[in-house]
Amino acid sequence: MTADTLLERITDYANRHNPYPLYAELREAGPVVRQADGSYLIGGYHHVAALLHDPRLSADPRSRPATAGGPYTEGGKPPFLRLDDPEHHRLRTLAMRPFGPPHSPGRVDALRGQIADITRELFESLQDREQIDLVDDFAYPLPVTVICRLLGVPREDEAQFQTWSDALVAAADVRAGADTTEQDRAGQEARLEMGRYLVDLAEQRRAQPRDDLLSAFINEPDPDARLTHEELAETAILLFIAGHETTVNLITNGVLTLLRLPDQLDRLRRDPDLLPSAVEELLRYEPPVHMRERYPLADIEVAGTTLPAGSTVVLGLASGNRDPRRFHEPDRFHPDRPDNQHLGFGSGVHLCYGAPLARIEAQTALRVLIPQLGTAALAQDPPPYRENAMLRGPRHLLLQLR
């Protein structure tokens, strides 16, 4: 079945504030919708989940024909998020050694106190304001401060990281029918500059290690577990971007959702123990990541349609999260929803391994914010959204504090 303009409409900025009717259209037209450019859209939960676990579907953009273009077609290895096993497994395992279990089981959990302190400091700095931008004043600086401390990036360099990050995220976006040459060029330039900075910073930690990830990477005692400079750069870049981009959207989408649903806001204010479950529901209801691109390594049949080898397949994570075949009343926010196996952090071998950190940050932020939101009002609804269709969230969220 074809719907030639559906992906263009989904990625059109005019629909950024509410793409969910288009996702419903995708599911009704599917399960597989072929576009005029030869790409394929898939929006049903069960098909998306199955393909995320299918080793025949590659995450590596170099799997496409060379004529397809993109930031990695002229050399250079993508971050492990965009690699396939066994190389993906090797690099992901090496990155996990200083970050989480089994080698460093307590690192993320030990950050709870620091995250609470950073959250409290940020909130207290806003107490005398009549209006705030939740994104710029709170939701962005919280995870950026955390991930920079985790990596070992000096505070004075955080602004430069935002410039690099914006270029990298723009290059990774899904843009139907658009010329992405300039975004790809800017993204590659940002990747090289950021990579050089991080490798140089890591080298400074070789002789004077600290309790941060760059020190752990550069001083790894096991020669078989050491990252090359190129691998260190790509891994650190990925950790920085993944460590804050999704969390910014998760916090901001969460506050926007609760201000639009005052009864649910009041419920969470009265019962803060619901917060962990509510964050999982936010990851389903308003996920920070809406879609992923994949590339078949061989012809794959899905519900009678063949996804040809070398084609582009767009997996609608957010569409799957609202699939009525999987979730009861999918367009309603239920903070205590049972059996909530959402796709908010993906699934399969590429399941977001920073998910525990994002959950802690979101729960801590909302625990501080929710008691204050009863006297707050949206200054603009819908708010202006970021250009990015894949990482969807407000660019600004102005709150009037009464």
Each residue's pLDDT tens digit, 295-313 = 999 999 999 999 999 999 9
**Lowest-confidence range among 47-61, 96-110, 124-138, 245-259?**
96-110
Which of 120-129, 178-187, 281-290, 346-355 is the most confident on average? 281-290
**What pTM value is reported for the model?**
0.90
- Res 175: pLDDT: 61
| pLDDT tens digits, 18-36 | 999 999 999 999 899 999 8
User: From residue 66, how far is each of 61, 63, 96, 294, 372 by CA, in Å?
Assistant: 10, 8, 32, 15, 53
Query: Among 303-307, 360-364, 386-390, which is the least confidently predicted range?
Result: 386-390
Q: What is the pLDDT of residues 203-242, one digit of tens each?
A: 999 989 998 999 999 999 988 888 999 999 989 988 888 7
pLDDT band at 178 (very low <50, low <70, confident <90, very high): low
The predicted-structure confidence for 325-355, as pLDDT tens digits, reads as follows 999 999 999 999 999 999 999 999 999 888 8
Average pLDDT, the chain: 90
Residues 70 and 62: their CA atoms lie apart, in Å, by 8
